[in-house]
Amino acid sequence: MNKMKCVVKSEPKEGAILTTREIPQIGPNEILVKVLATSICGTDYHIYSWDAWSQKRIKPPLIMGHEFAGEVIKVGEKVSKVKIGDIVSAETHIVCGKCELCATGKAHICKDTLILGVDTQGTFAEYVAIPEDNAWANDPSIPPEYLCIQEPLGNAVHTVLSGDIIGKTIAVVGCGPIGIMAVAVAKAVGAAKVIAIEVNEYRINLAKEVGADVVINPIKEDVIRRVLDETDGMGVDVVAEMSGNSTAIQQALKYIKLGGRMAMLGIPTEDVKLDVANGIVFKGIQIHGIVGRRMYETWHQVKGLLASGNLKLDKIVTHKLPLEDFEKGMELMKTGNCGKVVLFPNMK
């Protein structure tokens, strides 16, 4: 048998289809992985809904998905670091490995990056081929539904740990799946107070369950006043901006502490007007743009956090579905009434 089931963005319009494709062939430096679990990312939903970004970036037909864990079943002739039977996940940024950025520890911002499931065929399938250099060997004792979320967890870790966090106050703005992870990470690594800011009631409750000390709904409360009240009028040391919401970003610059740090992962869909003088320059704050995960520093941090058992992953993974029910998973992402949604190509 040389066919596999997979979820394909087949046409340049909303939706996707469950179909079959040839099992991928691998090159000398690649591995073939049997997908055990694959989770839905916000990027996958953007592709599914065919938004403005997707229309510019995606070239159907494309097998969707990039967050996964699976078993290596075949290796190329030049592969040396991975063996058949290993349980792996993938760093989804496929980089050139040759440019100045790659050579100086900044491969995560390589200008020639290709992204798994965006620029190459993805993981919403029974099998996926990836470069050996992108494979991350996992502890096989950890359930695949947790191993498959390491890629987005790495985004949260990179955001929270892009500066000092121990003993600091942090506001996590936007508690989608990665924001929820950021709350859990901040608590696990010793933040003094974690303030979660979110409008969706399901995710408000989820933020509480993973350890948020304070949860603020900006629809119901004055966010700036409440954050200042919670920090003795000083503001938070750190803002983890996960929402991409222009109003939320503008507010954050008013409640961040003098000399504070803003780590920005959320992607605005429109230009954001900022008071640069009063919100940034005169406050002496640092702003960090967060792209992916540091390769592979962040992965080692994620590995340690998984081993610690302090992340409440059972709360973060809220839905487990067979691959055939991917449309249900996309609907959950649309409503926001979920944490991480994990799909299983061969659910038992």
Please identify every residue annotated as catalytic: 43, 46
CA distances from residue 291 to 120, 133, 162, 198, 266 in whole angstroms, order as listed: 19, 19, 11, 22, 10
Name the nearest CA neighbour of 63 among 120, 145, 130, 2. 120
Which residues touch 55 (CB under 8 Å, ≥6 apart)? Answer: 12
Distance CA 50, CA 44 (A): 10
Distance CA 197, CA 311 (A): 19
Strand 17-22, strand 3-9: pairing:
antiparallel
The label of the residue with tokens 């440019």 reads: 99
